């Protein structure tokens, strides 16, 4: 992606041409590369168009199901870049190398300013300097003469922050199943993310790459995105804060589109067959199955039920045993009583 003067024609805003086997899409003077590729899935090879994006400050490839969809995505990214959400486009390759070097200085200095704030303001700094000095020297001068007004950040590894956050959720009264889901997802991310990576160093691109490595579907990916977003919101509220309040890479992750399918319900004949099989092969699971099928309990809730919570006409499900964290009173239908 680079800045250049567009050709003055009737289509100066959006030009498309092929260069070195890839599609180069010109959006208002900024070039975006789109690569056509094939991906093998269960139904066979499927074409994908990968959009090369630097809007988060680092290179990432965004999947699109068509070339037209990739160009529409460019049209959405380009205005946000103009608003300052991705000032990487205003830097030359040499300036970006200086940014990377200066960030190492920031990390070792223990500045009270966040890395996210520093990256977002870098292009503005380059314009102010006007070539009078390098960004690297300016960063060293800034760190030597400015302490900032924000509280000092407590730089924390992602794995450690995940453990503390899980403990916080447990103490907050959330249900065991809810906290267990959070812990399971964060633990899986810890295994595929760089070892020892800090919470304020991660990017949306790294999280999306981790989700891809885990092989999770669109709906689950959106749930991971929500867990991470809540983690960063919590981290910004700690004392001292673990990240700055405006740093939340999870919010920059793409929200996946989920196609909902019709649910096929069990027929009476099928249910009778299943109950007969369970009674013959696994009688210990019979009570679990009838509670799920006839009382509408989730399997995770049914295994936590005690006999003291089952009455003549109702089942009392405590909040600490439900998925939502709220207690429920469930009527016992006649077929379950029998």
Q: Domain coordinates of the chain in residue numbers?
A: 14-87, 91-145, 158-252, 268-337
| Distances 29 to 7, 67, 91, 288 between C-alpha atoms, Å | 9, 19, 14, 63
Q: Does domain 158-252 have CATH number 1.10.260?
A: no
Q: DSSP states of 211-229 as a string?
A: HHHHT--HHHHHHHHHHHH
Model confidence at 290: pLDDT above 80: yes
The structure tokens 């977002």 sit at 120
pLDDT band at 52; cut points 50, 70, 90: confident
Using only C-alpha atoms, what is the Rg of the chain?
27
| pTM for this model (two decimals) | 0.47
Task: Encode pLDDT of 150-182 as tens digits.
Answer: 667 888 999 999 999 999 998 888 877 788 889
The structure tokens 């066979």 sit at 44
Query: Among residues of the chain, what percentage have pLDDT more than 70?
Result: 74
Residue-level pLDDT at 1: 43
Q: Is 28 left (phi over 0), alpha (psi -120 to 50) or beta?
A: left
Angle between helix axes 158-171 and 176-192 (nearest 10 degrees) is 180
pLDDT band at 129; cut points 50, 70, 90: confident
**Out of 271-275, 298-302, 320-324, least confident range:** 320-324
Higher pLDDT, 260 or 62: 62
Task: Encode pLDDT of 6-20 as tens digits.
Answer: 444 433 333 333 344
Task: Encode pLDDT of 236-263 as tens digits.
Answer: 999 889 998 888 999 888 888 877 777 7
Query: Among residues of the chain, what percentage have pLDDT more than 90?
Result: 14
Structure tokens given for 131: 């070539």
Long-range contacts of the stretch 218-227 (C-beta < 8 A, 24+): 218/256, 218/257, 218/258, 219/256, 219/258, 221/256, 222/255, 222/256, 222/258, 223/185, 224/185, 224/189, 225/250, 225/253, 225/255, 226/250, 227/182, 227/185, 227/186
């Amino acid at each position: 992606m680079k800045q250049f003067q567009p050709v003055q024609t009737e289509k100066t805003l959006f030009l498309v041409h092929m260069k070195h086997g890839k599609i180069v899409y010109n959006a208002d003077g900024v070039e975006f590369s789109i690569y056509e590729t094939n991906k093998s899935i269960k139904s066979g090879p499927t074409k994908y168009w990968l959009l090369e994006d630097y809007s988060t400050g680092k290179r990432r490839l965004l999947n699109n199901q068509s070339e037209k969809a990739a160009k529409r995505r460019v049209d959405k990214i380009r205005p946000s870049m103009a608003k300052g959400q991705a000032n990487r486009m205003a830097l030359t390759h040499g300036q970006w190398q200086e940014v990377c070097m200066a960030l190492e200085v920031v990390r070792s200095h223990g500045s009270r300013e966040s890395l996210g704030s520093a990256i977002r303001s870098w292009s503005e700094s380059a314009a102010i300097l006007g070539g009078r000095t390098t960004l690297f020297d300016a960063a060293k001068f800034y760190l030597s003469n400015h302490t900032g007004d924000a509280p000092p950040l407590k730089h924390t590894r992602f794995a450690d922050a995940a453990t503390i956050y899980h403990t916080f959720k447990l103490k907050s009264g959330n249900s065991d199943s809810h906290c267990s889901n959070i812990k399971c997802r964060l633990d899986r991310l810890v295994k595929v993310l760089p070892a020892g990576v800090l919470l304020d160093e991660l990017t949306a691109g790294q999280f999306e790459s981790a989700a891809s490595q885990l092989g999770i579907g669109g709906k689950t990916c959106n749930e991971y995105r929500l867990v991470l977003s809540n983690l960063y919101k919590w981290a910004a509220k700690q004392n001292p804060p673990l990240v700055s309040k405006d740093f939340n890479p999870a919010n920059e992750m793409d929200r996946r589109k989920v196609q909902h399918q019709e649910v096929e319900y069990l027929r009476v004949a099928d249910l009778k067959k299943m109950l007969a099989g369970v009674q013959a092969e696994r009688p210990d699971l019979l009570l679990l199955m009838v509670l799920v099928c006839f009382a509408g309990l989730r399997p995770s809730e049914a295994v936590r039920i005690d006999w003291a919570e089952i009455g003549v006409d109702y089942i009392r499900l405590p909040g600490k045993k439900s998925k939502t964290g709220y207690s429920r009173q469930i009527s016992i239908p006649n077929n379950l009583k029998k």
